[in-house]
Structure 1
Amino acid sequence: MKINKNIIIICICGVLLGVTGCDDYLDINTDPNNPTVAPLDQLTSKIQKDAADTYNSGDFWMANFLGVFTHQIVVREESDQYGLSTGSNFISNSWSKLYLTNTNMNSLIGTATEQGNMIYAGIGKIMHVDAFSKAVDIWGDIPYTEANQLGESIIAPKFDDQVQIYTTLFALLDEAIANLKDETAENSLTPGGDDLIYGGDVDKWIKAANTLKLKMYNNVRLYPELFDAAAVNALISEGNLISSLDEDFEFKYASALAPEDERHPLFAAEYGGGQITQYISPWFYEIMMGVNPTSYFTTIEDPRIPYYWFNQLTGGELAQNPIDYHDPNTDFVSIRFGSLSDGRDSGQRGSGTMVGMYICGGRYDDGMGSPDGDLGSSDGTGVAPFQYINYYERLFIEAELMQAGVVTGDASAKLREAVVAAFAKVDDIAENNGSSQSIPTLSGTTEVTAYIDDVITLFDAATADQKMEIIMTQKWIASFGKFTDQYNDIRRTGYPVLANPNGTNEYQIDAGQNSDGALGDPLLDSETTLGRDYPISIYWPANEINTNSNAPDQKQQSIYSIFWDN
């Protein structure tokens, strides 16, 4: 995969395209060797990568703090304890990237439509719907109908109503499907290798669009003015949805470093950086280890652990510095959410547990510890996908809808299908990782079969509310790294149960590493705290609020809700 860097962004002045900007376009010459609109193939590749980056983890992207809010990642920075400033680079970078990418989306859709190349137009619309439905899910009201309209002299676009945007996106998705099915279209140009997601396979794009529609309907299922049960049932009964691993809607990062870095951005940041910034949450760790008493999966250890993170230490080694959370039985080293302990801020580049193979193309944990000191860029490949929507997610959505009574069906059987598919996804990523390590297959093993059977046994014996919690917690575990989707699930359903630093008996591993370097300090409840409410939406960027005369007053994150939030 090679991403061409020479994509023309129509306007490059101002902080945000069409949101804050200059009075006039820069002069652009009309030399045919430097066209003002990039070719459709270049636009398509660029859009697919940039849309993935917008909502991914890595250097200063939004998912960095959403991983903390969903309690799979812990950091020392401001997003700990749900902290976030209006001027956060994490917010402004993703906002700016969204609207820059939308300029190319608009160019792709408009140019393709004018040329009669409707397959390209349909792909552009699907990418647009995915990007802007996520934006509404995160921010609520945003500039939409007037965004990216500098050519119309709109430099202060209004913020559109979030419900109306979602309504428009549903209609646009229908248009996209119609474009892809249009047998009368000229389609003198059709996507192939430039389509880095499906290689121009129209049938797969239609399935992706239908599955995206199902996902969006599930998001709004508690908002009757927009939810359409008949449409949901029709989508499921027709079955033209993502139905296998090879139909997953995802952008695949690669291992190339030149002419530009094509590795997963989280891998580049963590394995190539001078310090660990994204620690694995001990709350997530203890649930997967089967020791968290608030979880239904107590005593059930998850076989995916060595695929999800890598322990640099081995054999009960001590961490290089005093540390907040250290399990000597597994060599897991991290920090707690809301920690106040002395070890919280100690550097652990050579001993901290790191994000692994599944989430970013890091190292599979073979139990041997770091092969050559601190883990670095040579200890993984960076090959892992950004998962827009995939097969296991579709199955979890159907299990949720069945359990909620929206559609008929056996929620237990559907949950089993979803968990089986989730394990298969781990194998799929491992198989395509390009690692020199020998990474064992999970699916069909005794351990995986027993784990799935135990989960279903718990589900079948549970109350209705408990069943929903089990479905959503299993989806949360399976979708490690899909932090935007997890953030939606938590707000919509209230599950999974999240860590409460102000509670008691929060963690079960009682073996911190004290200031003398020895293991044994108890993990005290008094060493964690939380002084903020859960953010049910995210601040608009400060530069947008301060420079757009049509922007609303800044929100309170714990009060301003998304329309579908329960």
Structure 2
Amino acid sequence: MKYIFVIAATFLASSCKEGYLDINKNPNDAVSSTPELVLSAALNATAGQLNPNQLGHFWAGHWSPSGSVSGFNGEKTYDIPGTFYSAIWTSSYDNLADYDYVEKTATTNKQLAFVGITKVMKVLVYQRLVDTYGNVPYSEALKGPAILRPKYDDAQTIYDDLVKQLEAAVVALKSPITAENPSPGAADIVFQGNLTKWVKFANTLKLRILLRQTNVASKASAIQAGIAKAVTDGGFLGVDENVLSTPGYLKTAGKQNPFYENYGFTAAGTLSGNHDFYTNADFFIKTLVNANDPRLDRFAVKANDGAWRGVPFGEGSDPYLYAKTSGFGPAILKGYDQSQVLMQSAESFFLQAEAAFRGYLTGATAQSLYESGIKESFKFLGVTNAATAATTYYSDQAAGSYTVASNKLEAIITQKWIALGAFGGFEAWAEFRRTGFPKVPLSTRAVGTKQPARLLYPNQELGTNSDNVKAQGTINQFDTKIFWMK
């Protein structure tokens, strides 16, 4: 009885303390963090999201499942359910919530450098959501318990605001670094606190968003004005200014570069479980072979019989076992600590080349910008004597010559498509949907004669936000086009 009394007395004496013995609270759970910690994690998460790029590489004609794996029926047939690649939706909004936390906290703390970076990254993620689904939650998104069922905003309206957000980001990024507005420093695993490069990234992302709307006739003047402002606000990513995430990968399970660990090798040096499931598509390999492109043996390796052989998308089984195909090459699977790619400088030059071709950009010719894009791609892939090899390549009338190309836009987009191989599948798919270039063949197992225009809203969204999903009308993956498509 003595011990019971002591315990009871202790409880009574302490019961006035709020939260005492509250079993619903974990004292080890962090309830807050700092912009520095969350920014690094959010940047790493964005760079490590493989689902959008994998699907993009399939549907843009870069990759194919090999004959060493069954499945991938939705990818090959285009007959997709509401569960198809739903991680694009969930991981994007999770990622956006982290950036939103940093932006709001940094705004309160007047840490404008952090505000600018998070605005840029939120635009990057939101654009991908719009390019995947069209109308999505935007103005009422990320409100937490305050708004559990956010409305869907018009995709064009979201795009217009994304441009404004990037312009606001540039203003914040140009604010002087002071004790009150510190440099992100090591928390910035992309540019290590180099805000000038963040400004260029913001402007290049803005250029991508503006050019995505070239099929919308009413946007011509806005595209012109937006590009002109980007030029005066600091310009675009230039030579060797690739946007890479380098958090410091380790040769440890779960801490390697996620691309390398998923498609390449384990920390122990053995083949990853997925290694033999993915290979290069027949369309991609033949495009490079036919142009005698020196990037071929950087993107791919020869099949075990010494041939260059990709898989016609939709095919499989024994003729296309992984060893019988041209798998990923040395520039793709470099090592456990290779950087993750957010944007290449090559893409920046190809965007500028298109802008110059359309008359939106002056000061450099479309041809010179196009050729600079090819050089940047050769360098990024590690082609031997890259600058000389690139010059030889784009001077070859049968390969990458701009001057003899009968369709200049097709030449620009095709070279961008090559540069994006293995590093920007989603972007390549978006550009194919916008321009029709290059002429990616249908899957051999396609249901019907159309390429997919978009994904369907995820089933879990229909279950938790059904009224707002249903308000979007009947959605079809072939005929419900994103607003910027032809």
Q: Which residue of 2 aligns with 1:337?
A: 313
CA distance in 2, matches of 1:121, 1:405: 33
Q: 1:559 aligns with which of 470, 479, 483?
A: 479
CA-to-partner distance for each residue in 1:231-269, whole Å, 9 max, x for gaps?
213434665321221x32222375513474231325434
TM-score, normalising length from structure 2?
0.84
Q: How much does 1:283 deviate? A: 0.9
Q: 1:496 aligns with which of 438, 443, 464?
A: 438
Q: 1:231 aligns with which of 226, 229, 238?
A: 226
CA-to-partner distance for each residue in 1:259-287, whole Å, 9 max, x for gaps?
74231325434431165221200111011
Q: Which residue of 1 aligns with 2:378?
A: 423
CA-to-partner distance for each residue in 1:504-531, whole Å, 9 max, x for gaps?
xxxxxxxxxxxxxxxxxxxxxxxx4533
Q: Which residue of 2 aligns with 1:279?
A: 279
CA distance in 1, matches of 2:216, 2:179: 40
Q: Structure 1's 102 and 27: CA in aligned 2 closer, same or farther, altered over 3 A?
A: farther
Task: Write out aligned runs for 1:130-529 (5 A).
Answer: 130-152=124-146, 154-183=147-176, 187=180, 189-226=182-219, 227-236=222-231, 240-245=235-240, 247-252=241-246, 255-258=249-252, 260-271=254-265, 272-273=272-273, 276-290=276-290, 300-311=291-302, 313=304, 316=305, 330-339=306-315, 343=318, 347-348=321-322, 350-361=323-334, 381-408=335-362, 409-427=364-382, 441-445=384-388, 447-454=389-396, 458-463=401-406, 466-481=407-422, 482-500=424-442, 528-529=444-445
Q: 1:128 aligns with which of 113, 122, 125?
A: 122
Amino acid aligned to 1:66: G
Larger proportion of helix: 2
Residue aligned with 1:36, SS = coil
CA-to-partner distance for each residue in 1:216-242, whole Å, 9 max, x for gaps?
111122324443302213434665321
Residue aligned with 1:461, SS = coil
Q: Which residue of 2 aligns with 1:78?
A: 73
Amino acid aligned to 1:551: V
CA distance in 2, matches of 1:225, 1:185: 42
Note if contact 1:117-1:186 (Cα within 8 Å) is conserved in structure 2: no
Q: Which residue of 1 aligns with 2:447?
A: 531
CA distance in 2, matches of 1:301, 1:286: 10
Amino acid aligned to 1:213: K
Q: 2:94 aligns with which of 78, 89, 100?
A: 100
Structure with higher Rg: it is: 2
Amino acid aligned to 1:200: G
Q: How much does 1:551 deviate? A: 1.4
Q: How much does 1:209 deviate? A: 1.1
CA-to-partner distance for each residue in 1:182-220, whole Å, 9 max, x for gaps?
249763543111210011111111111111111211112
CA-to-partner distance for each residue in 1:415-453, whole Å, 9 max, x for gaps?
1121112112212xxxxxxxxxxxx634144x5432121
Note if contact 2:257-2:339 (Cα within 8 Å) is conserved in structure 1: no
Amino acid aligned to 2:258: H
RMSD of aligned Cα (Å): 2.7
Q: Structure 1's 184 and 419: CA in aligned 2 closer, same or farther, altered over 3 A?
A: closer
Structure 1: give runs of 5+ residues left out of the alignment. Answer: 1-25, 291-299, 317-329, 362-380, 428-439, 502-527
Residue aligned with 1:279, SS = strand
CA distance in 2, matches of 1:233, 1:407: 7
CA distance in 2, matches of 1:112, 1:259: 33
Residue aligned with 2:451, SS = coil
Structure 2: give runs of 5+ residues left out of the alignment. Answer: 1-22, 66-70, 266-271
Note if contact 2:284-2:310 (Cα within 8 Å) is conserved in structure 1: no
CA distance in 2, matches of 1:251, 1:283: 29
Note if contact 2:370-2:412 (Cα within 8 Å) is conserved in structure 1: yes
Residue aligned with 2:331, SS = helix
Q: Which residue of 2 aligns with 1:118?
A: 112
CA distance in 2, matches of 1:241, 1:400: 14
Amino acid aligned to 2:465: N
CA distance in 2, matches of 1:238, 1:27: 51
Q: How much does 1:461 deviate? A: 2.4
Residue aligned with 2:341, SS = strand
